[in-house]
Chain A
Amino acid sequence: MAALTVRQRTGWTTANLVVVILALIPVLWLVSLSLKTPAAVTDPSIWPSQWTWGNYSGILQSSQFLRPLVNSIGIGLISTAVSVALASMAAYAIARLSFPGKSVLIGLALLIAMFPLIALVTPMFTIERALGLFNTWFGLIIPYVAFGLPLGIYTLSAFFREIPWELEKAAKMDGATPFQAFTMVIAPLAAPGMVTTAILVFLACWNDFLLAISFTSTISSRTAPAAMEYFSGGSVFTTPTGPISAAAVVITIPIIIFVLFFQRRIVAGLTSGAVKG
């Protein structure tokens, strides 16, 4: 790439700068709002005129945010673990075994990936109330697992196809059962793909809003994105801009850390799942 001229170099650098600025401004705006004092919130400049940590200490001492944050983490982790476990079993079968109905299974996963969530909300709301699942962790974990599965099956089967077959055959020749070949040979090789998939599924659960506001009614199971709506301002007439921004920043930080550390994996996962099918 030494052939790049100065003009091309400046061109691509400018393009990069534009990308970075466009991607960051709304995030920086949230950070700025979260650091503004209530008086400074009415100042539209991105650089706060008066600084405070008050919004953070406020929400981090309030059960109205802490409890939902714990719910988000707990529900997200459990849903991710279950989804990735079930999806890796199915993806292994898709990638390695020949069996009738494989294309039906893939079609089903595709169908569910495209499912309009709102179509599920009304009947599921009724069913959850009848079963006593409404406003519980399980009431969210069950649909999260179901919607994590297609993502997991797609991404994982793409990863599993690239694992060397021969190792499994060798293990079987050495007397391993298919199940042992799975748990002792393939699973460790599949770990990177599973980590990637877990991140993608966790991000999807962490991001969900529609199911979270539909199937919860109190902070005992409400997740963080759903809880921000219920923050109270100084009076009924003021929007709690500062606390909402601080909460938004807090729930964004884990994502940014994930993205920073697993950028390559996330890119590989997203593209393998969606493009390699």
Chain B
Amino acid sequence: MSTTVPATGATTTPAHAKPKRARAQLSEGAKADRRLAFWLCAPAVLVMIAVTGYPLIYAVILSLERYNLELPQDTKFIGFANYGAVLTSQYWWQALWVTLIITAISVGITFVLGMLLAEVLHRTVFFRGGVRTISLIPYGIVTVAAAYSWQFAWTPNEGYLSAAFNNGAPLTNQVEAIAVIIVAEIWKTTPFMGLLLLAGLSLVPDDLLRAARVDGATPWQAFTRITLPLMKPAILVALLFRTLDSFRIFDNIFILTSGNNGTASVSTLGYDNLFNALNLGIGSTIAILIFICVAIIAVIFILGFGTAAPGSDAGKR
């Protein structure tokens, strides 16, 4: 059974690689298959493109216009002026840095904790189902509900965490607020990371680890030399999903700080520009810039995938 994302490509290559001259000889059955496939896929493709493709193109157009909902009669094509305005604004760069810092730290820590969680879930014998169920709760809980829990926990004189830390009010201070946001992110996303890594972990043959131990490897050596390399595809997928998801961070920041005190992420900045400043032009410019950032991150990861591309073969190396 194929177990990695690159394997998806592998299953599709036959369709792709089908030589053109075969077209004339397509059997009735193959033609029927193609017709059916077209009709089965059409609705899904149509909806996905209508909801993302069209607005994206529209956002590109809006981003080239001066368009403020308060002054709609003043709407005018202004070329790349919005991009200039955003890219020279300290708010954009601050939000970008805050987002990148939150993403890097939270994904890094989540990866380590997720690995530990995966090991615990993999090796545990007692109450396996119970522990798995409970560890899934942070994944399932509505982010906003969890964010309120963190916010109330850090409210001075009321929250248990604030009480434990000298009645501190970390949400009013940039660095501390970002730390609180990162903790909230880590708590919420570790189970997801843990499950993805667990799936990779369960593919590592126990025999191999036992053999290594017999040959005198320490548990750490066995982990770094056998488990990690065999898990590489699963790790890359988990990191890609988590990084892109974390880069879009919105809910936690919106509830915890509303983006005040220099904690705005690119997403909360875009939201504010639309709903508080009512500036569609600038809001769309920010949207396009975020899209470009996400594309860059995705390309970096996919280049990373490239080295692990024969994913299903990785197990045999």
Contact = CB atoms under 8 A, between A and B. Distances in A.
A122 B146 contact: no
B44 A149 contact: yes
Contacts of B146: 26
A122 B145 contact: no
Contact of B33 (A97, A214, A241): A97
Contact of B62 (A105, A123, A147): A123
B288 A210 contact: no
Interface stretch (B101-109, B173-181, B268-276): B268-276
Contacts of A274: 196, 199, 237-238, 241
A143 B50 CA distance: 10
Residue of B43, B55, B191, B234 ringed by the most chain A CB atoms within 10 A: B55
28 contacts: A22-B187, A26-B146, A30-B148, A44-B163, A92-B40, A98-B18, A99-B37, A114-B298, A116-B293, A117-B267, A118-B250, A118-B287, A119-B290, A124-B51, A210-B250, A210-B251, A214-B274, A229-B255, A251-B142, A252-B141, A255-B141, A258-B140, A259-B136, A271-B198, A274-B196, A274-B238, A274-B241, A275-B237
Contacts of A105: 41, 45
A141 B4 CA distance: 31
Contacts of B89: none
B254 A209 contact: yes
B6 to A, nearest CB: 7
Given A44-B159, A121-B271, A275 B3 contact: yes
A248 to B, nearest CB: 4
The A interface is mostly helix, strand or loop, or mixed, namely: helix
B132 interface: yes
B152 interface: yes
Contact of B152 (A108, A143, A245): A245
A106 interface: yes
Given A42-B158, A90-B44, A120-B52, A275 B199 contact: yes
Contacts of A143: 51
Contacts of A239: 155
Give the interface residue-count category, chain B: 35 or more
Interface residues of A, number: 101
Contacts of B41: 89-90, 93-94, 105
Given A16-B131, A122-B287, A100 B18 contact: yes
Nearest to B268: A118
Interface string A103-115: 1011011001011
Nearest to A12: B124
B12 A12 contact: no
Contacts of B198: 267, 271
A254 to B, nearest CB: 9
A27 B244 contact: no
B158 A203 contact: no
Contacts of B141: 27, 252, 255
B115 interface: no
A275 B237 CA distance: 7
A1 interface: yes
A38 to B, nearest CB: 11
A277 B8 contact: yes
Contact of B294 (A116, A147, A162, A210): A116
A6 interface: no
B18 A123 contact: no
Interface of A: 1, 4, 12-13, 15-16, 19-20, 22-24, 26-27, 29-30, 33, 41-46, 86-87, 89-90, 92-94, 97-100, 102-103, 105-106, 108-109, 112, 114-127, 142-143, 145-147, 149-150, 153, 161-162, 178-179, 203, 206-207, 209-210, 214, 224-226, 228-229, 239, 241, 244-245, 247-249, 251-252, 255-256, 258-260, 263-264, 266-267, 270-271, 274-277
B120 A4 contact: no
Contacts of A224: 142
B56 interface: yes
B175 to A, nearest CB: 22
B55 A86 contact: no
B55 A124 contact: yes
Contacts of A119: 56, 59, 270, 287-288, 290-291, 294
A248 B148 CA distance: 8
B152 A29 contact: yes
Residue of A162, A226, A275 ringed by the most chain B CB atoms within 10 A: A275
Nearest to A8: B123
Contacts of B284: 122-123
A102 B132 CA distance: 35
B135 interface: yes
